[in-house]
């Protein structure tokens, strides 16, 4: 997997985290325990710091970056959906960022909040805890209910399980042994 130091800023990756060999991790990126970093993800901590908290998942094709001198903190059990673009300082515990969502500068996402698929959250917006936002620009569409929490708990547990299973279960094949 391409892991790069940048001007002395070096990634730190927990021993039990899974980082795909096609992910790119640059600079001051701190990946916690039982984290899943999927194929094609870019975590770019060249100017700032990126913290991916325990049992979080950064799914395939997502890009995470942060302003110079700032920190992007994904607290714990955060889900960053496939193809999402994250450029914000804070995503609270248990929050979900949907497939293809965009989080702009200075956005803060509260604990347990859900940013729907394709939502665009503009600069400086604060998403309260336990609400769902959707659209462009994102607007609140309702509270997070038990059924949402149950669904996303199941999804988060799947990625924690993949982080455990991929290091030994994933086998690269080519045409000669496939």
Q: Which long-range contacts (CB under 8 A, 24 or more apart) does 1-10 make?
A: 1/25, 6/45, 6/46, 7/46, 9/45, 9/46
**Res 157: pLDDT:** 95
- For residue 135, what pLDDT is reported? 98
Residues of the chain with pLDDT under 50: none
Asked whether 130 and 112 are in contact (CB, 8 A), the reply is: yes
Taking the model in full, what pTM does it have? 0.95
Instruction: Give domain 3-169's CATH superfamily.
Output: Hexapeptide repeat proteins (2.160.10.10)
pLDDT of residue 178: 55
């Amino acid at each position: 997997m391409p892991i790069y130091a940048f001007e002395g800023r070096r990634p730190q990756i927990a021993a039990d985290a899974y980082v795909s060999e096609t992910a790119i991790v640059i600079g001051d990126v701190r990946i916690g325990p039982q984290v899943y970093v999927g194929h094609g993800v870019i975590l770019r901590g060249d100017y700032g710091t990126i913290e991916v908290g325990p049992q979080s998942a950064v799914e395939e094709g997502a890009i995470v970056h942060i302003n110079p001198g700032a920190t992007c903190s994904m607290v714990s059990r955060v889900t960053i959906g496939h193809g999402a673009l994250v450029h914000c300082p804070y995503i609270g515990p248990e929050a979900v960022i949907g497939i293809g969502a965009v989080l702009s500068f200075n956005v803060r996402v509260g604990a347990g909040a859900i940013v729907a698929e394709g939502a665009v959250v503009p600069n400086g917006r604060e998403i309260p805890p336990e609400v769902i936002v959707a659209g462009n620009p994102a607007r609140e569409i309702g509270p997070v209910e038990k059924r949402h929490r149950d669904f996303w708990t199941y999804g988060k547990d799947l990625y924690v399980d993949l982080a455990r299973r991929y290091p030994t279960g994933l086998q690269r094949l080519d045409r000669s042994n496939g």
